[in-house]
Amino acid sequence: MTNCEIIRESIGSWLDGELSPGESDSVRAHVAGCGACDEVRRQLEKLQMVLKDELAGEAARIEFMPFWREVQQRINQKRPWHQELRDWCRDFFTAPRIAWSVPAVIALVLALFSLDSYVPGWRFGGARNNFAAVDSIDAYGRSVALLRENESKTTVIWLYQDQEGENEAAEDATKSGPAF
Amino acid sequence: MKLPKMRRSLVLLSSLLLVSFAGWCGAAEKSPQSVQVTIRSILAANKSDEFDPKLKGMEQQLKSLKYRSYRSLKDESKTVPWQGTQSFEIPGGRTLTVSPQEFQDNRIALKVRLTEHDKPIVDTTVKIANKGNFILGGPPHEGGALVLSISATAP
């Protein structure tokens, strides 16, 4: 977009007094030095004048009292809660508040992911996966049982002392082993 | 409706700061300096129905072993650097040597070796969840079986 196109888009707002003082000064300075943009300004001002005259003439013929009565009635009328909630939601979720929800959602997601560090055992409301993964095991000739207990998410490595030459008493104690 | 430039910049800046903070936290999680290793020695037996109140937090885990009684014999915690080694004295003249290998996806890989009077009983490499544990059991002790709960925490 050229500078003139940008300025022309702002001329209407400038004439309506909707621009900030800085932006107004910028538009004013440009229009003063640019014949084409000044022509756009003159046409817009002329259009505004025509519309104002036309509307003022029409307004004199309009009966406003019934309109104001209706407005008054609507102001005094108590709205149902669901309508108020709907309006509140609409106001809340439209810009500019929606823009703040972006960092707010990021913060919430970060908090959820880091909650496990502060509250051990918590993970999105479910039990934490405490299962251990056994990469390798060497029991030097003994028998080994590997148990994964679902309820407590526990991994158990159980050694059986069934090698020759082991202490008999010890063997008795462990031969039966745990009844997994 | 357009956001004023100042507010838009502020929102963008906040998002950027949050994302950077998350990245920093993630990086911090990946590089802990050392691991806190805790070994809990427990005697599991069938001579009585005693359950040591000190083991209350592990009740559900121990009940899967189906012994009748559980008694805490010893608790020991040590800080072990990555790739370093620490030895824990275990009842019955045994020694447990633990060496943390790596930290990935919030899981700690531990190399564990149990010896009895310098004779190796078991060598294993296990990956456990950070702040989690696993159980190594079976060696006979005082008419029952020795149960070791091996847990690790990377701060």
Which of B11, B66, B129 is closest, CB to CB, to A178? B66
On whether both B71 and B140 belong to a single domain, the answer is yes
Asked if B98 and B147 sit in the same domain, the reply is yes
Q: Is residue A167 scored above 50 in pLDDT?
A: no
Residues B2, B63: one domain? no
Token readout for A38 is 């000044």
pLDDT band at residue B152 under the 50/70/90 scheme: very high
How confident is the model at residue B23, as a pLDDT?
A: 66
ipTM of the complex: 0.79
End-to-end CA distance of chain B: 47
Residue B129 CA to residue A62 CA, distance in Å, equals 78
Q: Give CA–CA dist A79/A77, Å, rounded.
A: 6
Same domain for B118 and B70: yes
d(CA A30, CA A37) in angstroms, rounded, equals: 8
B106 and B147 both lie in a single domain: yes
| Domain shared by B51 and B111, yes or no | yes
Where in chain A are the domains?
Answer: 3-60, 80-128, 129-180
Q: Which of A137, A138, A139, A179 is nearest to A163 (CA)?
A: A139
**Residue B4 clears pLDDT 70, i.e. is over it:** no
Of A135, A137, A179, the CB nearest to B122: A137
Helices A21-33 and A35-61: crossing angle in degrees, nearest 10, is 120
pLDDT class of A174 with cuts at 50, 70, 90: very low
Q: What is the pLDDT of residues B10-28, one digit of tens each?
A: 777 777 787 777 666 655 5
Same domain, B48 and B94: yes
CA A88/CA A179 separation, integer angstroms = 61
Q: B69 and B115 share a domain?
A: yes
Condensed to tens digits (0 to 9), the pLDDT of residues A46-56 reads: 999 999 888 88
Residue of chain B whose Cα is closest to the Cα of A142: B121
Q: What is the pLDDT of residue A62?
A: 81
Same domain for B73 and B22, yes or no, is: no
Out of A128, A138, A177, the one facing B122 most closely (by C-beta) is A138
Q: Which residues of A touch B124 (CB under 8 A)?
A: 134-138, 157
Q: What is the pLDDT of residue A171?
A: 44
CB pair distance less than 8 Å for B137 and A180: no
B24 and B41 co-located in one domain: no
The residue written with tokens 């998350």 in the block is: B22
Domain coverage including residue B68? 32-153
Based on the structure, what is the number of domains in chain B? 2
Distance of residue B54 Cα from the nearest chain A Cα, in angstroms? 18
Contacts of B121 in chain A (CB under 8 A): 139-140, 142, 159
Choose the closest CB to A114 out of B25, B124, B139.
B25
**Which position has the higher pLDDT, A141 or B2?**
A141
Report the gap between the CA of B69 and the closest CA in chain A (Å). 12
Same domain flag for B26 and B43: no
* CA distances, A7 to each of A26, A34, A35, A40 (Å): 9, 10, 13, 10
What is the average pLDDT across A87-112?
78
Task: Verify whether the Cβ–Cβ distance B121 to A130 is below 8 Å.
Answer: no
Q: Which residue has the higher pLDDT, A175 or A96?
A: A96
Same domain, B82 and B130: yes
